[in-house]
Structure 1
């Protein structure tokens, strides 16, 4: 397959190709230029996608440009025809985004700010507000559609190739998923009736987000509508899970919190552990697919196996969460890191955070100047009202979702 990709690269006579190493996934290859990139579809068939003929790859390229133009119209430049004289294949021509501004790189360098996460949440919430809905989309959020996705996950991670790839974790997840499907069956159908099923992005992870002068969310799933359409709770869970898997569950929770500020949704938090488990399992599966591809080196396969094991372990953690009603109290002096700790715990367990600072802002607005101890919004009467309201909200959250962090 590499010889096929290299031939296409040689035939594509754009002068600015940088000579940088090819970027590969199990379904595509990306050639890097100084200002542009060319994305090629590999001639593969995994059942859930089929790129085996030039005609199918052309249709996929056209769909990729059209669908990604919803969120990043200035990045997708069009479909390129490859070949001299006769058409050999097709690719997607894209503007090259700055690698150092990719969200995964920003997380790795510990440079992500709350403002970045807040802006990403705003972009996604607006996208979901205007996303396609209707009966043809709703079926992907119904119980039968969710069951089909999980059934496929389990089937595609069976067999000798998967024997030593997190077997204990995968064995624990399967019965938990069945219990969750039964427990939340009515809620899944209520989500459909409530208009929460959309034609979304489908692959909302850190590598698909660029944070520069504006937020670019790109590389949505074009090859299978079943993977792209679904519950907004599932799409939100994907990025929250990915931030968690990269060691920042606090950012994952903050993202969910900010999304809910833009699009209030009472049922979204309760479904976070289920959908985060699903998204982590899919990432483990996709990483595992690379183990069977001949063009990946032994080092690349070892890295793929490590990645698969990691994501399956993340999925296992969501399936092994607390089952009893739980109240977790985080306390400490001002500035000691209570907020980050509370968000990390809440992100891990799929709980809501209710803080005195948040309640105080809701009751009395943003403080124009810091108040001293026992003064202003920290006065005795105001503090008593703050704690009464916190207890009321915590009680409501406990009854609704079974847990809360205060």
Structure 2
């Protein structure tokens, strides 16, 4: 009988299996690159990056983790080649190839003839101030950039190959148990009582959504994704957000539910306090996705928690390469991500969750809410919804926003800002739009997320119908009607650009003649400011 494979012997620091000091010294020397300026070095748990002149060289660390094995030279070479192939496909011109570090008669050299002792990914150097983590730190995540990032995520998943039948629940279980084991092994960083509670709640959450995850796998929502979609791995190139540094070392880790892939980005924004951006990307992603994506929201709290847990253990693994102030800052990040791991689980569902238009077996202790906001065009409904959504509900990243203008465009298969023809606003079309809003709201509530339905809701029967959705779902309902002076409505719609609404001054004047009937919803006369 063959003995099971054992992890390689560690030699220096947590998870490190070989000394790469000579290689790192070579790449850190400006003379190696024929430049006068200092080489900038950036370290992570899995790589060392050297920024030299117009190029960057990335060396895989000689480390062994249960989730990432770079313990041999051949494995590091293969990982470099895979990174160029996989990440290069989504970032044309950024990845330039794999360069060997060779031993010559005169010592180590970057490239050339000789025995290869290490390999590096060669990249076109970009301004590190243009990665989204830096942009976020400067407070420069503009609404237009957020919109572009959401489109980037949608396009990345549309292009990712499907992996139908992949056992995503089984993979998540492995990640969860590995993470819990890492936490348990470091009581100096992760309190044992908190780890035990996290393990209990996380395992229960995974058990509840296991049938849902299997159904999503069969339906094509599991794909070979980027796998590491957080802010530091997105850079502005030629003014557009570009994903780079995908998971290349393990195809199974990169194969996942698309919402699990997206969850890394949402978690990263949320834990930074950028909740408006997280919610906006969340909703824009859903607007561009198949309706069945809404059913997957039942698993999103677990996805977010797992992503935070992975970041906590990765940051903890990197402590071995740091000292002094850098180590203290990293330890603070570890503690922060661990707290997020617990907080992002939210309120667990008490019963199994179905796939499709089914409902949960029992109401959660803290229930979602159905909000409806109404008012004539230009009254500020969408502004109110976008402002309130990040803070509504008990689950990150806030409420799902269903907007009639968006759903009408989706009904006619046109882009968000493309103007619809007059027939799209015919009398028989609006009931279809409102019925669609109600149908989608039911799916969101069944996934235990709060939902905001943003529509004019001019007719009493439209307001009654959306209220009935809440009653049927057994959740609280809140209705808000926005009253704004006629001249202000006209001014706002005339100032709009790049918005999903096609309403103009003529539409507003027509709406002003509506018989609104009795409005029982809370009425607000405060004129909310809206962006043009």
1:326 equivalent in alignment to 2:368: yes
Among candidates 153, 157, 178, match of residue 203 of structure 2: 178
Judging by fraction of residues, say which structure has more helix. Answer: 1
Residue in 2 aligned with 1:348?
A: 396
**SS at 1:164's partner residue?**
coil
Q: CA deviation at 1:41?
A: 1.3
Residue in 2 aligned with 1:126?
A: 155
Residue in 2 aligned with 1:199?
A: 224
**SS at 2:90's partner residue?**
coil
Q: CA deviation at 1:94?
A: 0.6
1:247 equivalent in alignment to 2:289: no
Greater relative contact order structure (CA < 8 Å, 6+ sep)? 1
**SS at 2:295's partner residue?**
coil
Residue in 2 aligned with 1:100?
A: 129
**SS at 2:214's partner residue?**
helix
Q: Normalising by structure 2, what TM-score?
A: 0.65
Structure 2 distance, partners of 1:128, 1:270, is 19
Contact 2:263-2:307 at 8 Å conserved across structures: yes
Structure 2 distance, partners of 1:201, 1:128, is 8
Alignment of 1:377-396 (within 5 A): 392=438, 395-396=441-442
Residue in 2 aligned with 1:371?
A: none
Contact 1:30-1:38 at 8 Å conserved across structures: yes
**SS at 1:402's partner residue?**
coil
Judged with a 3 Å threshold, the aligned counterparts in structure 2 of structure 1 residues 82 and 114 are, in CA distance, closer, same or farther, namely same
The alignment covers a number of residue pairs equal to 388
Structure 2 distance, partners of 1:182, 1:345, is 26
Judged with a 3 Å threshold, the aligned counterparts in structure 2 of structure 1 residues 51 and 359 are, in CA distance, closer, same or farther, namely closer
Contact 1:9-1:31 at 8 Å conserved across structures: yes
1:404 equivalent in alignment to 2:423: no
Structure 2 runs not aligned, ≥5 long:
1-18, 105-113, 349-363, 420-424, 453-532
Structure 1 runs not aligned, ≥5 long:
369-376
1:281 equivalent in alignment to 2:312: no
Q: CA deviation at 1:91?
A: 0.3
Larger Rg belongs to? 2
Deviations 1:238-271 (A, max 9, x none): 1011110111122112112222233222323222
Residue in 2 aligned with 1:374?
A: none
Structure 1 distance, partners of 2:434, 2:157, is 35
Contact 2:247-2:253 at 8 Å conserved across structures: yes
Judged with a 3 Å threshold, the aligned counterparts in structure 2 of structure 1 residues 216 and 88 are, in CA distance, closer, same or farther, namely same
Contact 1:248-1:344 at 8 Å conserved across structures: no
Q: CA deviation at 1:357?
A: 6.9
Judged with a 3 Å threshold, the aligned counterparts in structure 2 of structure 1 residues 387 and 10 are, in CA distance, closer, same or farther, namely closer
Q: CA deviation at 1:315?
A: 1.6
Alignment of 1:167-316 (within 5 A): 167=192, 169-213=194-238, 214-264=240-290, 265-291=293-319, 293=320, 295-316=321-342
Judged with a 3 Å threshold, the aligned counterparts in structure 2 of structure 1 residues 244 and 84 are, in CA distance, closer, same or farther, namely same
1:38 equivalent in alignment to 2:57: yes
Structure 2 distance, partners of 1:326, 1:188, is 22
Q: CA deviation at 1:278?
A: 0.7
**SS at 1:157's partner residue?**
helix
**SS at 1:184's partner residue?**
helix
Contact 1:356-1:386 at 8 Å conserved across structures: no
Q: CA deviation at 1:12?
A: 7.8
1:48 equivalent in alignment to 2:67: yes
More off after superposition, 54-63 vs 317-326: 317-326
